[in-house]
Structure 1
Amino acid sequence: MTNNFKEKLGQGGFGAVYKGKLSNGRLVAVKMLSVSKTNGEEFMNEVASISRTSHVNVVSLLGFCLRGRKRVLIYEFMSNGSLDKFIYKTRDETLSALSWDVIYKIARDIARGLEYLHKGCNTRIFHFDIKPHNILLDENFCAKIADFGLAKLCPRNESIVSLSDARGTMGYVAPEMWSKSFGRVSYKSDVYSYGMMLLEMVGGRKNINGEASNTSEIYFPHWAYTKLELDDDLRPDMEMSTEENEIAKRLAMVGLWCTQTFPNDRPTMSSVIDMLEGSMDSIQIPPKPLLSSPTRSPPEYSI
């Protein structure tokens, strides 16, 4: 199927992904999972969660293989790869910059996919690893949520989950994931990760700035809030029209609401979609974020 693993599409903490072709000519992405210390838990998570989904903004699992210790997942092929390749200023110069209309469309696609996972399935699915690397783009830059290795399933009438271990990727992990003093772990943890990703899409850089001279510069929401408060350009490195500035400002405000420290202060994904699609005048200025970064303490748990 992969022509002896000829073309590698990517490498992550759980394994490598190769380009493949089915006998009918359909292109696929073949994910070969590494030998796991958790006895294949991430494989079972992925199959159990994604096999329950059917949504235009969630990547489709076409099949899987389990033979001995070999575990393989077969997905639809996404020709433009992952979002992280496009949004940072440090991206490969051979890749065209995304227009603000496309960035806005991608933000809305991801929001719709997450809303579906949280309330549209028979079983609620909490992803717990929303980040640009796990958002895939097809040939039309339609965004789809991928990589459910850390996902958690729970009944539709429950919104709080109990986790035996912290999970996620440093920089996107909600505060309550590593300290109960901030609140209970729930679908709002995905909302936080989504918000941090929105701020990255606006700012064009990673959310942790290791070269910053003080914590207020390191914690990305504080940087975004200061820009909005002073009415500074969110992207001084770019020439932007009035309409493009409006998109950037809208995404930044939604991102700041989503990254509120306490889960109860964050919107649901349904409310996020309303903010993205409604009038700018209806979006209230979010409260000022904390000046310290709660994301520098936990280790990185995934790709």
Structure 2
Amino acid sequence: MTDNDTDHRPLTLLGLGDMGTALARTWLAAGHPLTVWNRTPAKAGALAAEGAAVAATPAAAVAANTLVVLCLLDDTSIGSVLEGIDLTGKDLVNLTTGTAAEGRARAAWAEERGARFVDAGIMATPTMIGAPEAGGYVFYSGSRALFDTHRTTLEVPADARYVGEDPGHAALHDVALLSAMYGLFAGISHAYALIEGEDIAPKDLAPLLSEWLGAMGFFVGNAAERLTSRDFTTGVVSSLAMQVAASGTLLRTAADQGVSPELLVPYLDLMRERLDADPAAHGAEDTVGALTLLRRRTAPGR
């Protein structure tokens, strides 16, 4: 077996937590020769029984193959695990969760050591790895040449989606989607809290919530179009002024039900700030205009 065998390319995996173990098992099941290393050697035992070669040190694991996949605790762990190891000619694929800034810095770090680098953001749980029907996938960004070389191998655990040469973009896509997810979870949590103690079963509210949130999915595309065009007024159905006025009902209901509004207040406050800044200019806008305050507030001058 050689690196030129694209159907069963050999690779090294550093890190055998829940995600790393799921990745390892998927590559082994697909027939890829796999070398693994983990800080706690006992975690590699089961994989050895399944055909993995267990390296005694990170250096030995890295030396075994050109393709080296990292699935460690955090970015700091990468630096400590690979400290002093010759990375010349290696292809590093970083599946460790991190930020865009860390991805960019780590790409420069790898290049200085003679390695190609791709960062990644995993949009899946360990149980979704190796299960195409589950819908999981992985964002990749950085060296296009590296990604193209190993794409067949990288697509074994989950669908691979390349999002650009900027090494930070995979992590940025990952966090953007997760941030939207948590915002959705916050709204759902608030909705269920409102009916606690009422003669309304959560299981009866559930299909109504799903249906309503699905109908509101248009906001995703609408926001993208408005943020691109910077036109926040054309075709507005429910204006910012109307939304701010209606928000009082949400807060009064929460108070009546004994529910903290803390999951809703930040977004409601953002809309009110946008309106109060210039009611005449912003009152007829779509609520998307309020989002422009976020970058101005956190990144002055940009």
TM-score, normalisation: structure 1: 0.32
Greater gyration radius? 2
TM-score, normalisation: structure 2: 0.32
Higher relative contact order (CA 8 A, sep 6+): 1
Indicate the structure with greater helix content: 2
